[in-house]
Structure 1
């Protein structure tokens, strides 16, 4: 179940409460896990989204947010009947009212993966109409700590570094972050105050090189609302952040499948140390690319999948990536310098840019499409353009199971099938899960 489904379910038994439940304590029986890191419970006909709980438990839940309507939010502050998957939290900050960065510190690693598998399966069932057993695979045999190679620490009122509480701007000061990789979770910056900054970002690469990036708020121009064209009101815009590198090398370096990639210090790279290697191997296996084939790589970033696919199709083929971020495009150019039959073009992914890229690759369409969209997914227009290009396989790397399920439904309606689905625990201790879906047309294309 996800939050919106829970809200709909909560509307049916009886009308919403007339007065706020904020601060009220409720003894509830915890039901299923919901997409977003909380579980579903019910009280007096309302849905209660409970954090720090597990399915099957009986807990005392304190309401932390109630905006009226059919649901409210709460934290489990006392466990009356515990799940067998409950463990002691390894992080001293992961408790009700504490850091909001992790959702599952109180859950065993096998239990975390089972919860994530249940969420993926439920989203596919509800949004795509597919009943499918899901297994979430670990990326390593570790304890779920010390893996996160990039963290954006928030800065508190007195300049102290920390992370924000759940659904709050309140900064919880930290002396260390247990899921942070060496150099990040124990960053020296955590021992200092940083007045004047909005955030301080710390990242580390494969060589152990650490960068620090300062993010400062600066005012933005007010934006006109829809009435502004006719002299109406201007609405305030959110402040924007300016970024300055404080320390570290000019580029971070990562090795995958025998190749070294350089990435701008503020650029995107998979944060789990094993993720890029495992995802690349999974994509290549699903693609089964052959020499001479044409490949489209969407949301290509610094060229991780582009380079691997270029090696597979050899110089007789072509790979074209699309990426909107200019620094990532520049990184990709350096990373693909020895593969002139591959390139990443600066472009926002849209139906029009997908169609243009398809035409540039071949008049006959493309053979393979790989996409790694943001959390919002690809959407109907982009996915329809991908399918219209006529590939024999589409490989969809997804960081949000709800967005993936919605896009899979679009493909199913267009005559495609979900041929394979792999799910990976790339973000231990959090509710996030990475999926790689392999879509193939129902008709044969050799």
Structure 2
């Protein structure tokens, strides 16, 4: 499979015809040109496209952008966001919905392939996991459920030099003018100031918390042009009948049903037979305490659990959100530094308590990494429940944990980011 032609465009940019054969991590797809791998966006396996080479600076691969679909795959559909469609010039295509041209059920199959392939290659683990659909928020239309729209409760809009706002074009820092935000909830759409200008601002965040009114946050720049830290007050989110406090600009899951989905998934994933409520249970990268609360709600108010989070304000909120659990504690610390302290300072009885523990960890997109995995394995908890938003980072860390004797026992994946390449996975590992 390869190109049928190669030509120079009027501005000296190479354009090629490509047969697309596979999906790759990161929202791009795989083709070959004269034996060289080409990663190309805005297409899908089974298509033939005309593409423009955008990066030929690597020996082993090139990058390209689809200019025209010559032979469409049966899974292609009209893009859910017209301003991201392949019909527009690549520099004018809104980023953030890179799978929006693919039928929803096939998106999930492609995500499954990426997750399964990463686990096989990087961890030596075979899995038959599926990517589970998640219902749109209450009030969304039937069309939203069918096409995967109306789920984002948080949108960041970038600011152009003239003060206009919009998303970046894919893999660029060019701001695209848009008139719609179809992945966002109806409440976001009602308040998003798409026609206004914000000269000098760093970015504009639009958020719609479940227990508060929607709002617009304008983040200004400091004297060096960097985003200026600001306190925007407190908002509230409701999950499983509980209300959580957090900073207005603080981290929270973006899908309207994501927090509740992960709350229940973590509860279900913990093996009750391996759970000791009196052990030194941990919630690492704990944010404002959502998953620690999930553990407490399942196993009772006397559960011992410590949430560890590097953001001091998030930890303050976690302390309040966990107030009813007498065995709960919230610490401000980096996870690697906390685990290092545990391995160095814990006495024999404390070490036994950690070895009997269940550890929930929800690291950022880059994953936990070797330093944290090595220190976590040295602590030696009985079971790990790993929440991951990046399949490759998860696969790498599962492989690292296997080096320490931990094996993947159970895995679920959720389509919490429809029309993008992202997914969320929850894994349980034990020695």
Cα deviation 1:64-106 (Å, max 9, x = unaligned): 3333533222222222221111000121111333112111110
How many Å separate the matches in 1 of 2:161 and 2:234?
A: 31
Q: 2:260 aligns with which of 272, 277, 284?
A: 277
Shift in CA distance, 324/343, structure 1 to aligned 2, threshold 3 Å: same
How many Å separate the matches in 1 of 2:378 and 2:396?
A: 18
Q: 2:84 aligns with which of 86, 94, 110?
A: 94
How many Å separate the matches in 2 of 1:154 and 1:185?
A: 16
Look up the match of 2:142: none
Look up the match of 1:39: 29
Asked whether the equivalents of residues 393 and 439 of structure 1 are also in contact (C-alpha less than 8 Å), the reply is: yes
Q: 2:124 aligns with which of 129, 143, 150?
A: 129
Shift in CA distance, 52/87, structure 1 to aligned 2, threshold 3 Å: same
Asked whether the equivalents of residues 113 and 425 of structure 1 are also in contact (C-alpha less than 8 Å), the reply is: yes
Asked whether the equivalents of residues 365 and 389 of structure 1 are also in contact (C-alpha less than 8 Å), the reply is: no
Q: 2:330 aligns with which of 340, 344, 357?
A: 344
Which blocks of at least 5 consecutive residues in structure 1 are unaligned? 1-9, 11-20, 221-238, 442-446
The structural deviation recorded for 1:352 is: 4.5
The structural deviation recorded for 1:179 is: 0.5
Asked whether the equivalents of residues 295 and 309 of structure 1 are also in contact (C-alpha less than 8 Å), the reply is: no
**In terms of mean alpha carbon deviation, does 330-339 or 266-275 score higher?**
330-339
How many Å separate the matches in 2 of 1:271 and 1:188?
A: 16
Matched, 1:194 2:182: no
Q: 2:364 aligns with which of 370, 374, 398?
A: 374
Look up the match of 1:316: 302
How many Å separate the matches in 1 of 2:165 and 2:123?
A: 42
Matched, 1:264 2:254: no
Cα deviation 1:172-217 (Å, max 9, x = unaligned): 0122211011232443421211111010111111135123222223
How many Å separate the matches in 1 of 2:51 and 2:180?
A: 28
Q: 2:14 aligns with which of 4, 7, 24?
A: 24
How many Å separate the matches in 2 of 1:355 and 1:283?
A: 26
How many Å separate the matches in 1 of 2:269 and 2:340?
A: 21
Asked whether the equivalents of residues 148 and 272 of structure 1 are also in contact (C-alpha less than 8 Å), the reply is: yes
Which structure's residues are more often helix, by fraction?
2
How many Å separate the matches in 2 of 1:359 and 1:22?
A: 64
Look up the match of 1:6: none
Q: 2:397 aligns with which of 369, 393, 407?
A: 407
Shift in CA distance, 436/188, structure 1 to aligned 2, threshold 3 Å: closer
The structural deviation recorded for 1:34 is: 0.4
Matched, 1:334 2:320: yes
SS in 2 for 1:408: helix
Look up the match of 1:365: 353
Matches within 5 A, 1:86-165: 86-95=76-85, 96-97=90-91, 98-140=93-135, 142=145, 143-165=147-169
**In terms of mean alpha carbon deviation, does 418-427 or 285-294 score higher?**
285-294
Matched, 1:171 2:155: no
SS in 1 for 2:394: helix
How many Å separate the matches in 1 of 2:266 and 2:375?
A: 21
The structural deviation recorded for 1:52 is: 0.7
4+ residue stretches of structure 1 with deviation over 4 A? Answer: none
Look up the match of 1:62: 52
How many Å separate the matches in 1 of 2:384 and 2:174?
A: 42
The structural deviation recorded for 1:171 is: 0.4
How many Å separate the matches in 2 of 1:22 and 1:32?
A: 28
Cα deviation 1:151-170 (Å, max 9, x = unaligned): 11001121111011122111
Cα deviation 1:235-261 (Å, max 9, x = unaligned): xxxx53114467xxx322111122111
Alignment TM-score, normalising by the size of structure 2: 0.88
Cα deviation 1:389-410 (Å, max 9, x = unaligned): 2322100001111111111011
Look up the match of 2:339: 353
**In terms of mean alpha carbon deviation, does 69-78 or 349-358 score higher?**
349-358
The structural deviation recorded for 1:294 is: 3.3
How many Å separate the matches in 2 of 1:300 and 1:294?
A: 15
Alignment TM-score, normalising by the size of structure 1: 0.85
